[in-house]
């Protein structure tokens, strides 16, 4: 009988209704209250994109596709679980499900290609607390084997999946007679102090942009990168920002831009609102034609890349 390996996919989480926005923000902010003005602003964003975050549904689709791919292409047996950092199902709940299943071999992967102590590091802190919080399963805890995948942005199949979307989007622009777009890679901004303290996030993002550009056949003059979706707290954030970069493009005579949000692995509010609504409105004001590549979601090439990352992590552990 095959032993089963649990794959734990961990993602940020998002509200599952407009009523959930306020308690979701309370969780994100570590119990600190959010101003009524900011709550309404965030609630509006989710209202515009359909009344909730699509992140859980898409992550579950990714998980099912990954499980199917792994089990049809391997002699081993896998079961993929989904846990969220800031909303249901929380990582602690999902770890409880794994413990109840009796599976003692876990491969954990964060749904971000980069490492940062503020993101990936925090996911693994939640995971450790969740494991320690399973007092009803002492035998499971004693026999547990866990493989924590770190940054995986260097995976060549991941580059191929993103580059394929870029090349297809550029072809669509050409077919429509749109001026050749500059490709603009984006990732979520983080406080600038992290980079100053040696956090590798910003460098990894720049490296990934270069790797994907090479795979897509882009020259250095055909792409740039910037950061988006900075938080509301009063601190310095990694830049340049998406807004600043679009304004720079307009002033320099660019006519079109293709945004490739390579720091995001699925459609959610930072993509569907921050890019598709806010950035699109700004681009219109700046007389820029703005396009966006499709998110990886459960595209077969992306699922193949995730499976490759899982298999490689097993072989190296």
Domains and their CATH numbers in the chain: 4-151+299-316 (3.40.50.1400), 156-292 (3.40.50.1400)
**pLDDT per residue as tens digits for the range 109-131:** 999 999 999 999 999 999 999 99
Task: Return d(Cα 135, Cα 287) in angstroms, integer.
Answer: 60
Choose between 317 and 235: higher pLDDT: 235
pLDDT the model gives residue 234: 83
The pLDDT of residue 14 is above 90: yes
pLDDT the model gives residue 233: 77
Place of tokens 């079961």: 79
**pLDDT per residue as tens digits for the range 270-283:** 999 999 999 999 99
User: Residue 37 — very low, low, confident or very high, per pLDDT cuts 50/70/90?
Assistant: very high
The pLDDT of residue 134 is above 60: yes
**pLDDT per residue as tens digits for the range 184-241:** 999 999 999 999 999 999 999 999 999 999 999 999 999 999 999 998 778 999 999 9
Task: Return d(Cα 200, Cα 99) in angstroms, integer.
Answer: 33
Cα dihedral across residues 82, 86, 88, 91: positive or negative: positive
pLDDT the model gives residue 135: 87
pLDDT the model gives residue 302: 98
**pLDDT per residue as tens digits for the range 147-182:** 999 999 999 999 999 999 999 999 999 999 999 999
The pLDDT of residue 79 is above 60: yes
The pLDDT of residue 1 is above 70: no
User: Residue 299 — very low, low, confident or very high, per pLDDT cuts 50/70/90?
Assistant: very high
Predicted TM-score (pTM) of the model is: 0.96
């Amino acid at each position: 009988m095959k032993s089963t390996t649990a794959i734990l996919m961990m993602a940020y989480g998002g509200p599952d209704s407009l009523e959930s926005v306020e308690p979701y923000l309370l969780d994100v902010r570590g119990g600190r209250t959010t101003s009524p003005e900011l709550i309404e602003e965030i609630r509006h964003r989710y209202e515009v994109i359909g009344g909730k975050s699509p992140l859980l549904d898409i992550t579950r689709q990714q998980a099912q596709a990954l499980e199917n791919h792994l089990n049809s292409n391997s002699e081993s047996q896998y079961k993929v679980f989904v846990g969220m950092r800031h909303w249901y199902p929380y990582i602690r709940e999902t770890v409880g499900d794994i413990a109840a299943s009796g599976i003692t071999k876990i491969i954990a992967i964060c749904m971000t290609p980069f490492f940062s102590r503020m993101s990936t590091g925090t996911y693994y802190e939640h995971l450790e607390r969740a494991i320690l919080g399973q007092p009803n399963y002492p035998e499971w805890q004693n026999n547990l084997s866990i493989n924590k995948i770190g940054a995986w942005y260097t995976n060549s199949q991941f580059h191929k999946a993103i580059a394929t979307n870029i090349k297809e989007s550029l072809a669509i622009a050409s077919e429509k007679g749109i001026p050749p777009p500059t490709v603009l890679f984006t990732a979520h901004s983080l406080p600038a102090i992290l980079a100053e303290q040696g956090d590798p996030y910003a460098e990894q993002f720049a490296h990934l942009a270069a790797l994907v550009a090479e795979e897509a056949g882009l020259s250095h003059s055909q792409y740039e990168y910037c950061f988006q979706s900075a938080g509301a707290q009063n601190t310095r954030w990694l830049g340049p920002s998406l807004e600043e970069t679009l304004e720079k493009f307009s002033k320099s005579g660019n006519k079109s831009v293709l945004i490739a949000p390579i720091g995001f692995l699925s459609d959610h509010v930072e993509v569907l609102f921050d890019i598709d609504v806010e950035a699109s409105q700004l681009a219109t004001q700046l007389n820029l034609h703005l396009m966006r590549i499709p998110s990886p979601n459960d595209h077969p090439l992306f699922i193949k890349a995730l499976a490759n990352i899982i298999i490689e992590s097993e072989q190296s552990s």
